[in-house]
Chains A and B, each alone.
Chain A
Amino acid sequence: MTAKQDATLRRTVLEKMYLARAFEDCISALAAEQGRLPGMQILATGQEAAAAAALALGKDDVMVTNHRSHVHLLARGADPKTLLAEIMGKESGVNHGKSGTLHLIVPEVNALMTSTVVGASPLLALGAAFAQQYKETNALTMVFFGDGAAAEGSVHEAMNMAGVWKLPLLFVCENNCWAGAQSFKEHCSAGNIASRASSYGMPGELVNGNDPDDVLNTALELASMCRDGRGPALMELTTYRMHGHGEYDKQHYVDPAEIEFWAERDPIVMFSSRLEQEGVLGEGQAEAMRREAADKVAEALKFADESPYPAPEAALEHVWASPEHI
């Protein structure tokens, strides 16, 4: 099956992209209000086509993600209510206020591990993929990491070992052109990440990361290879972080023309009009999807706002499985 043939899946991709955009627009607006949100806010605005990769997964597949995770988690089916409550540090948050935005973990949707330690997620995914192979399941693990993360030794170790053991592990590198204030050219010695795949004996695909069809088709194809026992694969999504590193980042080091260039390639604008042109979406359907996403986020915000903070002593919970040890 290719995505082109599957109209339902493509509509779901767009739906999730709208949801992620609305969710992050809400966070962005809250972050602009003094004292409204604790900590830092790291958004994936502009990178929503990555939702298509997450949607290539089946229910039993595992996802591992990083500090810029909202798109991945929402696409996977995480509840925006408990995600937003977590980001606000509320008791009802998906991780009871222990995590905040940087390491949202949603086992309910098989997003079992998240790390804000750059380059750590591929190592975690290695273990998950090993377990899948060991248990002879038909499932795979998909791991998201950034272009900057690819400079960590951990990523090389994960790729090599996964290659040697032919683990069902799909590496998804979101190359958003920047790692903090360092441009891709400055921090990477090669022209792309995907070409590294051959060094580890796996297929590597360079994908237009702002085109959900490209992302979905490649992800489906590579995922089925992983499932067939042919070992790991790597896909690199070329995309752009429209809001800078975090909401506090004024991007003083970025050429405004570069931001404009990518603004004209907004994946949501492009994909919604493509689906309309192809008749996959009828008149007014895209707009209805956008409104539905906005409603879900408004509901999430109400839920998060009305939720209480955890009691201070709750800090002591969840360190151990056996609480008597603390």
Chain B
Amino acid sequence: MREVHTGVAIREALTLAMEMDDRVFLAGEGIGVSIHDNPLMPTYGLLETFGRRRVKDTPVSEAAIAGLAVGASTMGLLPVVEIMFFPFITLASDMLVNHAGKLRYLSGGKSSFPLTVRVKAGMFGAGCQHSHNLEAWLAHAPGLKLAFPSCPADAKGLLLSAIFDPDPVIIVEDMGLYWMQGPAPEGDVRVPLGKAAVKRPGADATVVGYGRAVLAALEAASELEAEGVSVEVIDLRSLVPLDRETILESLSRTGRLVTVHDATKFCGFGAELAAIAAEEGFASLKAPVVRVAGPDIPVPFSPPLQEFYMPNAQKIAAAVRSIL
């Protein structure tokens, strides 16, 4: 299969969706004209291709961006809006948490909100008001679907599924992946929401993660293979809905679970995974579940401090070793 950068794969999904369906439009801060004049950015060139009717640069107004998506979606459009950096989701959160996730329920199932929110995330030396992965907050809010891809094919396929899904979907894009290449199919090839991928089969321990952390987990698995330890790596791809079957099936074979994410540990998504292992996979467990995550601090700016914060292959490998 041909290889593309993740940023380009995301743009392919946006382009395809817009070509296929006039109901799809994009809105966000600098998605049309951007300070980043870089073809690897997902929305690069889309304003030129689709024009100002369908590619809307907005003022710096996250609440309005999210409200736009909620209101337009129930009118029959398929909005794809962007939140520039993950911490700014807090400004959009009333529209997402109290409205996108609840209005269908409040209407007794009569209203629909088929919107997509793309959120750019990552730790890139800008400090804690630009870098803060809040996926556990979003996962905790009923009514919102949530995807967090780790590779070009999934970034494209999940986004296509999200755009045409009848429910509100938030899709987190780890920006570091934009510059990374990987195989991705051409055309309208969708990745279903709620389906995890086994990235690497193994027998001794299961490492479950999503986003950039999956790459670190795969690196850790190679490191451990050299020591004769066989690690299975599961990429959740979707956090809501969650593919419990794949996790529990793997756990039933390996008996050991390590979770990994870049977000902080306390009440992080890893806690949900550990709870599922305890509630539904208890009989399979040969060792305690170990969570690899950021320490419970804001993401610091200084390079050695950010390095200290970040989960990496060494930390994941050490976690696996600790329960063998």
Q: Is B225 an interface residue (CB 8 A)?
A: no
A38 touching B125 by the CB < 8 A rule? yes
Question: Given A116-B127, A250-B37, do A98 and B301 touch, yes or no (CB 8 Å)?
Answer: yes
A309, B302: Cβ atoms under 8 Å? yes
Query: CA–CA, A148 to B128, complex, Å?
Result: 21
Interface 1/0s, chain B 117-129, versus A by CB < 8 A?
0000000111111
**Contact of A245 with B126 in the complex, beta carbons under 8 Å:** no
A-facing residues in B35-56 (Cβ within 8 Å): 35-37
Q: Enumerate chain A residues within 8 angstroms of B305, measured Cβ to Cβ.
A: 89, 97-98, 310, 312, 314-315
Q: Are B301 and A89 in contact (CB under 8 A)?
A: yes
Chain B 47-69 residues near chain A, CB threshold 8 A: 57-64
**Interface-forming stretch among B173-181, B253-261, B276-284, B292-300?**
B292-300
A117 at interface, CB cutoff 8 A: yes
Render A109-130 as a binary contact track against B, CB cut-off 8 A, 1 for contact: 0000001111100000000000
Tell yes or no: A253 within 8 A of B by CB. yes
How far is B91's CA from A117's CA once the two chains are assembled, in angstroms?
Answer: 10
- Contact with A152, one of B30, B60, B308 (Cβ below 8 angstroms): B60
B135 at the interface (CB under 8 A from A): no
Instruction: Answer whether residue A168 sits at the interface, using C-beta atoms and an 8 A cutoff.
Output: no
Known contacts A152-B61, A187-B60, A246-B35, A180 near B30 by CB under 8 Å: yes
B303 touches A309 (CB 8 A): yes
Tell yes or no: A279 within 8 A of B by CB: no
Shortest Cβ gap from B210 to chain A (Å): 23
B269 in the interface, Cβ–Cβ < 8 Å? no
> Does A100 lie within 8 Å of B302, measured CB to CB?
yes
A288, CB-defined interface residue at 8 Å: no
Residues of chain B at interface, number, CB under 8 A = 38
Cβ B303 vs Cβ A89 within 8 A: yes
A312 near B59: Cβ-Cβ < 8 Å: no
Q: Are the C-beta atoms of A116 and B297 separated by less than 8 Å?
A: no
Task: Give every chain A residue within 8 A of B61 (Cβ-Cβ).
Answer: 151-153
A115 CB to closest chain B CB (Å) equals 7
Contact of B304 among A93, A181, A250, A310 (CB under 8 A): A310
Structural contact, A181 and B302, CB atoms closer than 8 A: no
Which residues in A have their C-beta under 8 angstroms from that of B271? none
Cα–Cα, bound, A98→B127 (Å) = 7
B267-323 residues at the A interface, CB under 8 angstroms: 295-298, 300-305, 307-309
> In the bound complex, what is the Cα–Cα distance between A246 and B125 (angstroms)?
14
Residue B130 lies at the interface, judged by CB distance under 8 Å to chain A: yes
- Contacts A100-B126, A116-B129, A182-B30: A39 and B301 contacting too (C-beta < 8 A)? yes
Whether a CB of chain A sits under 8 angstroms from the CB of B25 is no
Asked, given contacts A38-B125, A118-B60, whether A152 binds B301 with beta carbons under 8 Å apart, the answer is: no
Compute how far the CA of A310 lies from the CA of B130 in the bound complex, rounded to whole angstroms. 21
8 Å CB contact of A253 from B33, B60, B63: B33
Q: Which chain A residues (244-268) contact chain B, with CB distance < 8 Å?
A: 244-246, 248-250, 252-253
Choice from A39, A148, A151, A152 contacting B127 with Cβ under 8 Å: A39
| Contact A319 to B296, CB < 8 A, known contacts A180-B30, A310-B305 | yes
Chain A residues in 8 Å Cβ range of B307:
312
| A: contact size bracket | 35 or more
- In the complex the two chains form, is A182's CB within 8 Å of B33's CB? yes
C-alpha spacing A39/B125, complex, angstroms: 4
Establish whether residues A310 and B302, one from each chain, have CB atoms under 8 Å apart when the complex forms.
yes
B-chain residues with CB within 8 Å of residue A90 when the two chains form the complex: 302
A153 contacts which of B30, B33, B58, B63 (Cβ < 8 Å)?
Answer: B63
Q: Nearest Cβ distance between residue A34 and chain B, in whole angstroms?
A: 14
Q: Are B304 and A100 in contact, with the CB atoms below 8 A? A: no
Chain A 134-161 near chain B by CB (<8 Å), digits 1 or 0: 0000000000000011011110000000
* B302, B307, B309 — most chain A CB neighbours (10 Å): B302
Q: Which residues of A contact B59 (CB under 8 A)?
A: 148, 151, 179, 182, 187-188
Residue of A nearest to B34 (CB): A181
- For residue B204, CB closer than 8 A to chain A, the reply is no
Does B219 reach chain A (CB closer than 8 Å)? no
Residue of A nearest to B127 (CB): A100
**Cβ contact within 8 Å between B129 and A117:** yes
Interface string of A167-183 (1 = CB under 8 A from B): 00000000000011110
**B87 at the binding interface (Cβ < 8 Å):** yes
Q: Does B148 contact A (CB under 8 A)?
A: no
Interface residues of A (CB under 8 A from B): 38-40, 89-90, 93, 97-100, 102-103, 115-119, 148-149, 151-154, 179-182, 186-188, 244-246, 248-250, 252-253, 309-316, 319, 326
List 10 A-B pairs, Cβ < 8 Å. A38-B302, A97-B301, A100-B126, A102-B127, A152-B61, A180-B34, A250-B37, A309-B304, A312-B305, A315-B308
- Contacts beyond the supplied A152-B60, A153-B64, A315-B308: 6 A-B pairs with Cβ under 8 Å: A98-B305, A116-B129, A119-B60, A181-B57, A309-B304, A315-B309
The 6 closest A-B pairs by CB, nearest first: A97-B302, A89-B302, A100-B301, A151-B59, A39-B125, A312-B308
